[in-house]
Structure 1
């Protein structure tokens, strides 16, 4: 039902389809009229009769795509793409695969889409960063979500909080006839109370706004006296007829109402509505001077875009403006909401996301690229209708993710306290900044939070949760890896310096010479001192990727020969295992203990303590360089 958020004559149909042949004529007409439930039944009859081909498979995929049944959509798209399809089919197939968490398969379909649409913004996004998914999954959590009791088994979405009243759109009115798109009742605007941080589980219809047509969602001026909302253009007698003149097709348009005696009255359409295109999902800026909305009007970059229009002092409107490529794509952008701090929240399926529609934030004062809000706001399904009330410090999200009561459900989103961590990596000896250092951030439960690379200024930025301690593993070629701790912080900005010591290993033609690697008496486990030295060996082996090492471990002559041989062999094996644990391939290093059989100083049992120490050593012989 989120599709009504965009348009009644939804643009995913792209253009009116002509029946491929007499067998598909009935189904195609239903598809043209956006009656996807009934169209699906007719196409399925053809598959049962053995009359289906790739065209029918594609149409079935599109039907299920339009009602967001990702399982069935994937099934039919998989059959459709056994023969060449248009670029958009591969894109929609990829979206459904992502919705079903089949990310590798989705990437393969996106590559096919990219080959057919190389100039598409969605292709450029893919080519710019093929690892975006791991970055999204590693983002710090910005909100905690809670389900709400007022959700029904029907579609509920577009919650908006104003003066302790939550307005939202819902298809729960079963007394109304069903909408042919998805076989649910038409939408009405409902409202419920929000008091003392609690959402009332009961809701009532906003009778002064509802009609026999689709309505919702809404936005209200700061003074509470002006309301804008979406409604079908039939109310304003704006529609077009199908080619056979048998069906009237309306649009979603924006209407304005004013408050009198606690009732919404004087309902009129805005001047930039049209029967030729949709205007919906209005959101008014806090100063009342700008109205943001969704439209597919001329000048739209994709299917539907985010637009804005000036609201003049006399109540008239300026010329609508497209928000441009930092917000809009060739895909769908919808459910625009402008917060009091001028951050625009909107949903998109054309940007780098987790699947379906994802929610993004765009700072309208800076005009930078929009930012994906990450999990749990976004999921593999459709996530949209995000609104943020700064004075109450709460947000609402609409989603059709699993676990909800109905098709679309509304969730309460509570901001999570975060720390903006700024790490600068330096050379410990020279103080110079180090670019291309790898920083792995691990939380208290040893979960990897993010993997980052320092920029040309030696800096990485990361947003982490408050009141949690973290460890930062910092590594760079030519330097000894080190671990830095970040104590619990209550929020704000935190700067941390990570100083790495350069490797001081000596590399000759025959061996890599390190400082003494000390073991505890009668033990073979690697000590902290030993690890620091072995990190130098790891750095050298990373510097020489073809190098193969043979590690030799020796003891002094004190003690039993057999005991010394076993002890040195255990130490050699521990040394090898440590190096492998740091990412060196097992085929590149081996080791063996030699006990007291190869003394560096042949002094028997008459050695001085210094000579004993010289014999008690590790050697790293270069087998291949």
Structure 2
């Protein structure tokens, strides 16, 4: 009897398990369908219900993170990305980046930087990684640009999304999801807000506006409309609209997505007419957010067309005299990243303002600027606070004559999800900060001045940004842009050890004089053997750091001076990770060290490179021993020995 009862109990449990599993699969499928259809609000509700019921799944957490991220709900996004990485770290590298951006929006910059380091390990060749690693002091740079604007929340904002302001004479034209009577019938599943239409408000003096009205019933269709740009004579408008069948209903691609397109219309007898689609649009990708150059000979816009570096890039086209357009041209990797570059605006002076989450910023989308007329050394700078915040800040426009303008943000303290702010620029943006770096080179052995010493200045990415030679008195000066993130000044002279001065965050060009002291090369007179310190590596890395590149010059100088010598390279790791992994890592470090010397002209057959893993620690930091970071660093090294042929 007990056997029969146990049998039926097992069958019942099996049926319950099958039913539970089937129910979970149905719920996941419904949520996935909403997510893939960009119905993010619906997907969030379904996934959250499953998470509340105890479902723990990689897909649930990842899609909850993404759905909230793309709806600018960064606090929720961070919560679910954290859950995702606690379940598994085997995720696409983009999750590390989005998690880092979400943490920034919470003001957790240190945690964000740590996540960016994780992102760098999985996407080392990305432009976003290079910009992060080249600008480790990005918060300091942002602070230097901050405080230049006075901002004010406009009274015309609604409880829903208001953004994409543009100036049309004394009118402010913008996009809004506010309910005008019929808009409530058009709800978008992405964020459960009404479809966007174009509105206008006229100034009543100062920054006060009159009533808000539709810009045009002809331009506002049964789709989204946003992001306007007007010709100076006020007779032409460029605007963004969803791909649609004559503005009546969405036209979708094979994935069910209605792409964005740019349209142009003309003002005829006080009404907007002759709406035409621009020829470089496509049903298969989006083209949006138009803006005209000051001379109206170029149109700039954002797109995710083929050839885009990231989720969206900034492009330009020439407007020909006959009204035709050139082929779109990508503005390149200085401006565009693997992230989102969007909402471009061109000032009369030729400065491009745009929003991005790919350049180092405060969180979400930040507003950046770059002068387009700069041929070389084009710099992209963050506008700083208060225009930028921990949330999304975008659709920046400015009147160059009055230094007034508008932008949108979803920061706390507003009226709706996105709100429009006015601003006054009290101090111009700085793209350069010209300073003179002063210094002297000396012989470290006796303190005498050292003339004709090569002096080089490096940025954080190892790029040489300036160089000179010290004079007969050992003195030198370098003209530099102090807005660059600089890291090191190096002195180099034949038969001397190189010396380097590290420029920390407290360095002042006005009060600091750089002193470089070079020691004559120390050579054992009997064995003619070079005495040199090891070079060191970052944790779990094998690339040759900038400080190592400077130290290794001593080896190169010696090998060139004594061509009948050979070099033995012995590379090591600390004790963290397994013995097998560390052995492979040390061999990789030895190989990278040898390869670097080959690029500097040392013949490959003059070098022997070996890896020893963690077998030759220089201290007691073996497995299971608690050691400081500095102690572990001493073991991550390549050592050099000179031998006679």
The normalised TM-score by structure 2 is 0.63
Deviation per CA, 1:50-108: give whole Å up to 9, x if none.
Answer: 22312211111111111111111111110001212110011111110000001111111
Partner of residue 369, structure 2 = 361
Partner of 2:222: 212
1:397 aligns with 2:399: no
Distance 1:427 1:350 in 2: 36
User: Residue in 2 aligned with 1:108?
Assistant: 114
Q: Matched residues in 1 for 2:84 and 2:171: separation?
A: 47
Q: CA offsets, 1:378-415, max 9 Å, x none? A: 11111110011113321211111111111111111211
> What residue number does 1:154 align with?
160
Alpha-carbon distance between aligned partners in 2 of 1:314 and 1:151, rounded to the nearest angstrom: 40
Counterpart-to-counterpart distance in 2, 1:216 and 1:34: 19
Segments of structure 1 that go 5 or more residues without pairing to the other structure are 1-18, 438-452, 464-475, 478-482, 485-495, 503-625
Ranges in structure 2 where 5+ consecutive residues have no aligned partner: 1-22, 441-448, 458-464, 469-476, 484-499, 502-506, 516-645
Q: Deviations over 1:510-565 (max 9, x none)?
A: xxxxxxxxxxxxxxxxxxxxxxxxxxxxxxxxxxxxxxxxxxxxxxxxxxxxxxxx
Correspondence for 1:379: 389
Superposition pairs for residues 44-83 of structure 1, below 5 Å? Answer: 44-82=48-86, 83=88
Are 2:420 and 1:410 aligned? yes
Distance across 2 between alignment mates of 1:99 and 1:326: 24
Q: Supply the distance in 2 between the matched residues of 1:364 and 1:21 (Cα, whole angstroms).
A: 52
- 1:234 partner SS: coil
Q: Is the 8 A contact 2:343 2:394 kept in 1?
A: yes
Distance in 2 between the 1:426 and 1:41 partners? Answer: 61
Aligned residue number for residue 262 of structure 2: 254
Q: 1:183 aligned to 2:157?
A: no
Structural mapping, 1:487-498, within 5 Å: none
Q: Distance in 1 between matches of 2:234 and 2:159?
A: 31
Specify which of 257, 262, 271 is matched with residue 263 of structure 1: 271
Distance 1:143 1:462 in 2: 22
Q: CA deviation at 1:225?
A: 0.9
Which residue of 311, 316, 331 corresponds with 1:323?
331
- Cα 1:32–1:144 change in 2 (3 A) is same
Q: Is the Cα–Cα contact under 8 Å of residues 353 and 396 in structure 2 kept in the other structure?
A: yes
- Larger Rg: 1 or 2? 1
Any idea what SS the aligned residue of 2:315 has? strand
Q: Is the 8 A contact 2:315 2:328 kept in 1?
A: yes
Structure 1 residues 232-311: aligned runs within 5 Å = 232-236=242-246, 239-240=251-252, 248-311=256-319
Asked if structure 1 preserves the Cα contact closer than 8 Å seen for 2:231 and 2:292, the reply is: yes
Q: Is the 8 A contact 1:213 1:235 kept in 2?
A: no
Displacement after TM superposition at 1:43 (Å):
0.8
For the residues of structure 1 that align with 2:67 and 2:437, how far apart are their CA atoms?
A: 52
Q: Look up the match of 2:582.
A: none
Contact 1:173–1:188 (CA<8 Å) still a contact in 2? Answer: no
3-state SS of paired residue (1:337): strand
User: How far apart are the structure 1 equivalents of 2:69 and 2:338?
Assistant: 17
Whether 2:240 is the aligned partner of 1:230: answer: yes
1:13-52 paired onto structure 2 within 5 Å: 21-52=25-56
Question: Structure 2 CA distance, aligned partners of 1:20 and 1:373?
Answer: 47
Q: Give the Cα separation in 1 of the matches to 2:386 and 2:514.
A: 39
Using the alignment, how far apart are the partners of 2:393 and 2:514 within structure 1? 46
The question of whether the paired residues in 2 share the 8 Å contact of 1:221 and 1:286 is answered with: no
**What is the distance in 1 between the residues matched to 2:404 and 2:349?**
14
CA distance in 2, matches of 1:109, 1:210: 43
Q: What is the Cα deviation at residue 129 of structure 1?
A: 2.5
- What secondary structure sits across from 2:31 in the alignment? helix
**Rounded Cα–Cα distance in structure 2 between residues aligned with 1:38 and 1:315:** 44
Q: TM-score, normalised by structure 1?
A: 0.65
Q: Distance in 2 between matches of 1:235 and 1:202?
A: 32
* Shift, 1:139, TM fit: 2.8
Shift of 1:191: 0.7
**Over aligned residues, Cα RMSD in angstroms?**
3.3
Among 203, 217, 229, the residue aligned to 2:212: 203
Distance of 2:223 and 2:318 partners within structure 1: 28
Partners of 1:49 and 1:373 in 2: CA distance: 44
Measured against aligned partners, the alpha-carbon deviations of 1:486-527 in whole angstroms (never above 9, x if no partner) come to xxxxxxxxxx9759799xxxxxxxxxxxxxxxxxxxxxxxxx
Task: Report how far residue 167 of structure 1 moved.
Answer: 0.6
Q: Secondary structure of 2:141's partner?
A: helix
Residues in 2 aligned to 1:197 and 1:454: alpha-carbon distance in whole angstroms = 48
Relative to structure 1, is the Cα distance of residues 178 and 238 closer, same or farther in structure 2, using a 3 angstrom cutoff?
Answer: closer
Match of 1:384, SS? strand
Q: 2:105: which partner in 1?
A: 99
Partner of 1:341: 349
**What SS class does the counterpart of residue 413 from structure 1 fall into?**
strand
Instruction: Using the TM superposition, give the Cα deviation of residue 188 of structure 1 relative to its aligned residue in structure 2, in angstroms.
Output: 0.7
> How many residues matched?
439
CA distance in 2, matches of 1:304, 1:172: 27
Whole-Å separation in 2 of the counterparts to 1:323 and 1:398: 24
**What is the match of residue 520 of structure 2?**
none
Other structure's SS at 1:359 match: strand
Partners of 2:510 and 2:137 lie apart in 1 by: 27
Summarize the Cα distance change of 1:191–1:88 in structure 2 as closer, same or farther, 3 Å threshold.
same
Q: CA deviation at 1:196?
A: 4.5
> CA 1:38/1:262 → structure 2, altered by over 3 Å: closer, same or farther?
same
d(CA) in 2 for partners of 1:436 and 1:341? 34
Question: Residues 454 and 409 of structure 1: is their aligned pair in 2 closer, same or farther, counting only changes over 3 Å?
Answer: farther
Q: Residues 401-440 of structure 1 correspond to what in structure 2 (within 5 A)?
A: 401-417=411-427, 423-424=435-436
Equivalent residue, structure 1, for 2:8 = none
